[in-house]
Structure 1
Amino acid sequence: MKVVAADQPRRSRRYALLLAARDSEYVLKAYGGYFNVFVSAFGRDCDGDAGDEAWDMFRVVDGELPAEEDLDGYDGFVISGSPYDAYADERWILRLCLLVQDLVAARKRVLGICFGHQVICRALGGRVGKARVGGWDIGIREVTMAATLPPCRFLDALQDLPPHAKITECHQDEVWEAPLGAEVLASSDKTGVEMFCVGDHVLGIQGHPEYTADILLSLVDRLSSSQSITVSFADDVKRQLEATGPDREFWLTLCKSFLKTQELA
């Protein structure tokens, strides 16, 4: 892809959200669905300009995938989180893995969030499974950037990266081993692969840059009500959220930079 000169009109960008979860009652009421959450988070340029771009959504959790002949029309794809296991063999997950392989082969930009991060890893030959330490990771966790980062245009566009950054987490699965050819960009004291990339066109993030505090609190209440987590665990998360928050602007800027920093020809 060629860099567009500053005095040239910007080509309209088009992105696809591959939604791997169903809208919760709370998110539907508060935001109109996860589509609006993601577009609000990632649907602006790094300079704050809304630009000329369009977003489509495909409910991959319900078997809805973009048609093969339409893939070339997209500049990037975002795979959401999910309550499902990325290593499971449901038909829609296997189809999503095949789609990821096609997108990567075509050098399309693919951003994976939580489940999306894990399913990209699986599709590219990495290893994914239940967290090896401590089960659920819910709340705010500080991740550490790798001491040496690969030369990527989307990282270069950020200039100075902080050595540490806090991010919202909600998962009980993790990447055990990054795919061959991937670079691990960040880790934490609980999760060895918090973020990885493959060149300039694949980025996986274990945490949830798109989550606001109220979305996480609603999810914690649902997990507690279903007894997926204990009441005391839920109370600990709520106390943590009262005391601290994620470095959300950093993570949103990182994701926007990845999706929108153009490659040299």
Structure 2
Amino acid sequence: MDSQREERDITKPLSEEERSMEGKRYAVLLCAEDSEYVRKKYGGYFGVFIRMLAEEGETWDVYKVVSGEFPEDDGGLDLYDGFVITGSCNDAHGNDAWIHRLIALIRKLHSMKKKILGICFGHQILCRALGGKVSRSPTGWDIGVRIITLKTSSPSVMLPSKLSVIQCHRDEVWEVPAKAEVIGWSEKTAIEMFKLGDHIMGIQGHPEYNIDILFHLIDRLVQRHLILEAYGVEARAKVMLTEPDREAWKKICTSFLKTRL
């Protein structure tokens, strides 16, 4: 399985024969800088997503959009069967140049009906780009493992009634785009999950994280004085009470991303 971009002219769309021979191709739009710990242990956040989503015969590329690295939009986007937008330390309601460029890319991909899976920041920026509203949560940080109620009757996405997922965010979606459907919520956050058509889905939680990564993030937030040490200790203790349903989330994400329209 190739996880690096190949030396070829990516502005030329693949023929049907080439696509069949090469297998499906996906791109991770990386919106966070890797910490040294995650880079060494997991191969960075790209490696974390590869572990959850990649299957034999697929090609996965990474674009560090947070650093201004984007896929070519002149034919190059046709290479991909789907895109994943990751979490970030940045605010989806911010106005950094790369955020505005990402918003423009999302709108382009939406017009092409490309599959897009947004996680945490990715969930929020999808909503902002397509007409929804994102802001700080009035109830503050959500850090730990939270049980999500899911809309099981939603067409095209098979869901159980409840799943637990790792959370680490202080922003949230206040309003989804027009024609989007809210398919997940919790006692803290009204919009935990949404979909738009058959090609866009956002998840506020982190199905790709394990407990080790969450504990690492808690330590970093304490070190940066973004949360109090006592809050971090309490969050760690609560995490041990509920196991995240990582395998179920993996099935949901891969099924959405890889099912042809």
TM-score of the aligned structures, taking structure 1 as reference length:
0.88
Question: Higher relative contact order at CA 8 Å, sep ≥6: structure 1 or structure 2?
Answer: 1
Report how far residue 10 of structure 1 moved.
Answer: 7.6
1:133-167 deviation line (CA, Å, top 9, x unaligned) = x2000000011112642x21xx2xx4xx3211100
Where does the alignment leave 5 or more consecutive residues of structure 2 unmatched? 1-19
Tell me which residue corresponds to 1:198. Answer: 196
1:101 counterpart = 2:112:
no
Tell me which residue corresponds to 1:5. Answer: none
Tell me which residue corresponds to 1:84. Answer: 90
Where does the alignment leave 5 or more consecutive residues of structure 1 unmatched? 1-8, 45-49
Tell me which residue corresponds to 1:162. Answer: 160
Between the two proteins, the alignment pairs up a number of residues equal to 241
1:95-132 deviation line (CA, Å, top 9, x unaligned) = 00000000010000000000000000000000000012
- Does the Cα contact within 8 Å between 2:164 and 2:242 map onto a contact in 1? no
Of the three residues 28, 34, 42, the one matched with 2:39 is: 28
Tell me which residue corresponds to 1:136. Answer: 141
Tell me which residue corresponds to 1:223. Answer: 221
Tell me which residue corresponds to 2:28. Answer: 17
Tell me which residue corresponds to 1:64. Answer: 69
- The percent of aligned pairs where both chains have the same amino acid is 49
1:55-107 deviation line (CA, Å, top 9, x unaligned) = 00000001111001200010000000000011111110000000000001000
| Structure 2 residue identity aligned to 1:120 | L
Report how far residue 238 of structure 1 moved.
Answer: 1.0
In the alignment, the residues of structure 2 paired with residue 127 and residue 138 of structure 1 have an alpha-carbon distance, to the nearest angstrom, of 22
- Does the Cα contact within 8 Å between 2:118 and 2:126 map onto a contact in 1? yes
| Structure 2 residue identity aligned to 1:165 | L
1:246 counterpart = 2:244:
yes
In the alignment, the residues of structure 1 paired with residue 177 and residue 97 of structure 2 have an alpha-carbon distance, to the nearest angstrom, of 22
1:123 counterpart = 2:129:
yes
The within-5 A match list for 1:166-181 is 166-181=164-179
| Structure 1 residue identity aligned to 2:162 | H
In the alignment, the residues of structure 2 paired with residue 262 and residue 170 of structure 1 have an alpha-carbon distance, to the nearest angstrom, of 31
SS in 2 for 1:110: strand
SS in 2 for 1:262: coil
1:25-55 deviation line (CA, Å, top 9, x unaligned) = 11012112111111111113xxxxx2x1100
Tell me which residue corresponds to 1:113. Answer: 119
Tell me which residue corresponds to 1:75. Answer: 81
Report how far residue 11 of structure 1 moved.
Answer: 6.2
Runs of 4+ in 1 over 4 A off after TM superposition: none
In the alignment, the residues of structure 2 paired with residue 36 and residue 209 of structure 1 have an alpha-carbon distance, to the nearest angstrom, of 14
In the alignment, the residues of structure 2 paired with residue 55 and residue 201 of structure 1 have an alpha-carbon distance, to the nearest angstrom, of 18
* Shift in alpha-carbon separation, 1:182–1:32, aligned structure 2, 3 A: same
In the alignment, the residues of structure 1 paired with residue 173 and residue 248 of structure 2 have an alpha-carbon distance, to the nearest angstrom, of 22
Superposition RMSD on alpha carbons, in Å? 1.2
Tell me which residue corresponds to 2:59. Answer: 54
In the alignment, the residues of structure 1 paired with residue 49 and residue 43 of structure 2 have an alpha-carbon distance, to the nearest angstrom, of 11
SS in 2 for 1:128: strand
SS in 2 for 1:135: coil
| Structure 2 residue identity aligned to 1:137 | D
* Shift in alpha-carbon separation, 1:24–1:180, aligned structure 2, 3 A: same
